[in-house]
Amino acid sequence: MTGSTLTATAPNGSAMTDPFGRTISYLRVSITDRCDLRCVYCMSEDMTFLPRADLLTLEELDRLCSAFIKKGVKKLRLTGGEPLVRRNMMSLVRSLSRHLHTGALNELTLTTNGSQLERYSAELADCGVRRINVSLDTLDPDKFRAITRWGDLGKVLAGIEAARKAGLAVKINAVALKNVNEDEIPALMQWAHDKGMALTLIEVMPMGEIGEGRIDQYLPLSLVRARLGNHYTLIDLDDDTGGPARYVRVSETGGKLGFITPMTHNFCESCNRVRVTCTGTLHTCLGHEDASDLRRPLRASASDDELSAAIDRAIGLKPKGHDFIIDRQHNRPSVSRHMSVTGG
């Protein structure tokens, strides 16, 4: 959407509000575009990563996140790429945890592929992280290696157990892929629920050129839910995190199952989030090519006044909804940037 003159304001730390009355309280920050895996729906096999000099420093990321927290953000999620592969990233987590201690921030969390969790889970818990999302699409080692192009499932499963041992609540995120893992979804759900973990299923999103046909990958979750409904009792829940997932309780397992459906259901009406890339670019919508540069005002002055004004201008232009669509004629993505650049 363009042409709106409404801007978000946050005097004395009051909440940011977009042109459609949605309060922005959730920030997702990609701290790196790099990853130690190459999942087929996320990256091309021969990715060209950003020069390290283009990335915000950890100190700049801290200052940027803190500016958003001052403006009313209550939930902060660190993403990538794979956030745990960035050197010294735990110093950023520890520094940001000060906002938990003051009460300015309600939750500090991250999304990870799980490959580094054995090493970092205890420290994450010590920093005040209480729950994490782990991306895992299959429990079949060969299929896992095919999806990730070279990943080790055993390492990820050991990382999940380390996280649980450290007291972290783990939610599993799985992308539903046609003719790849669709037959595994019931078993993946049963496994997660047996361990007390929620599972969220995600439709493949049309982002970035990855050398795979989007139509070939796309599996509508309406179909998945209908199939599950033939064997399980799915009870709709009123859980509303302001996020895209719609949740059910599975009576037979007692566990929680979420559906994120960017293609079959526009989930934008209650969107409370924005994303910042590792280069300081603010995207107010995952499914738009919108971009606001926060790196320049961040580096222009030691004061946050110019940065705060840039954030307000961007929030004031947040669109009503995304434009995700699979281009069946040209088989191309709706958004050209890779998910790993935007932040998962």
Please write the tens of the pLDDT for every residue from 214-263.
Answer: 567 789 999 999 999 999 999 999 876 556 789 999 999 999 999 998 75
User: Does residue 4 lie in a domain region?
Assistant: no
Residue where the block lists tokens 């157990």: 161
Give the three-state DSSP class for 265: coil
- In our burial notation (b when 16+ CB lie closer than 10 A, e otherwise), range 299-335 reads eeeeebeebbebbeebbbbbbeebebebeeeeeebbb
Exposed, middle or buried, 86 (CB in 10 Å: 0-12/13-18/19+)? buried
User: Does residue 71 lie in a domain region?
Assistant: yes
Give the helix/strand (H/E) hosting 97: none
171 neighbors 136 (Cβ within 8 angstroms)? no
Residue where the block lists tokens 């649980």: 164
Name which residue leads in pLDDT, 88 or 332.
Answer: 88
CA separation (Å) from 268 to 4, 151, 216? 18, 33, 25
Q: How far apart are CA 67 and CA 69, in angstroms?
A: 5
User: Does residue 192 lie in a domain region?
Assistant: yes
Q: How many domains does the chain have?
A: 1
Over the chain, what is the mean pLDDT?
Answer: 86
User: Does residue 230 lie in a domain region?
Assistant: yes
* pLDDT, tens digit (0-9, with 9 covering 90-100), for 179-203: 899 999 999 999 999 999 999 999 9
* pLDDT, tens digit (0-9, with 9 covering 90-100), for 271-299: 889 999 999 999 988 766 778 999 999 99
Residue 72 token pair: 């009313």
Annotated binding site for S-adenosyl-L-methionine: 41, 81, 135, 205
Residue 308 token pair: 């705060």
Average pLDDT, integer, range 110-118: 97
Residue 135 token pair: 């991306």
Residue 67 token pair: 């500016």
Annotated binding site: 28, 35, 39, 41-42, 77, 81, 111, 135, 171, 205, 268, 271, 273-275, 285
User: Does residue 225 lie in a domain region?
Assistant: yes
- In our burial notation (b when 16+ CB lie closer than 10 A, e otherwise), range 171-197 reads bbbbbbbeebbeebbbebbbbbbeeeb
Could you tell me the CATH number of the domain that includes residue 256? 3.20.20.70
User: Does residue 43 lie in a domain region?
Assistant: yes
Give the three-state DSSP class for 133: strand
Domain span at residue 28?
Answer: 11-342
Listed range (81-90, 266-275, 279-288) with the worst mean pLDDT: 266-275
User: Does residue 6 lie in a domain region?
Assistant: no
Q: How far apart are CA 332 and CA 213, in angstroms?
A: 8
Annotated binding site for [4Fe-4S] cluster: 35, 39, 42, 268, 271, 285
Instruction: State the pLDDT confidence band at 321, using cuts at 50, 70 and 90.
Output: low
Residue 3 has pLDDT above 50, yes or no: no
DSSP one-letter code for 15: P
Q: Are strands 23-24 and 107-112 parallel, antiparallel or unpaired?
A: unpaired
Q: Are strands 273-276 and 256-260 parallel, antiparallel or unpaired?
A: unpaired
Q: Is the peptide bond before 81 cis (omega within 30 degrees of 0)?
A: yes
Maximum CA extent, the chain = 59
Of the candidates 117, 136, 141, 109, the residue with the CA atom closest to the CA atom of residue 39: 136
pLDDT of residue 66: 98
- Number of helices (H), then strands (E), belonging to the chain: the values are 12, 14
pLDDT of residue 343: 55
Annotated binding site for GTP: 28, 77, 111, 171, 273-275
Cα 263 to chain center, whole Å? 17
97 neighbors 78 (Cβ within 8 angstroms)? no
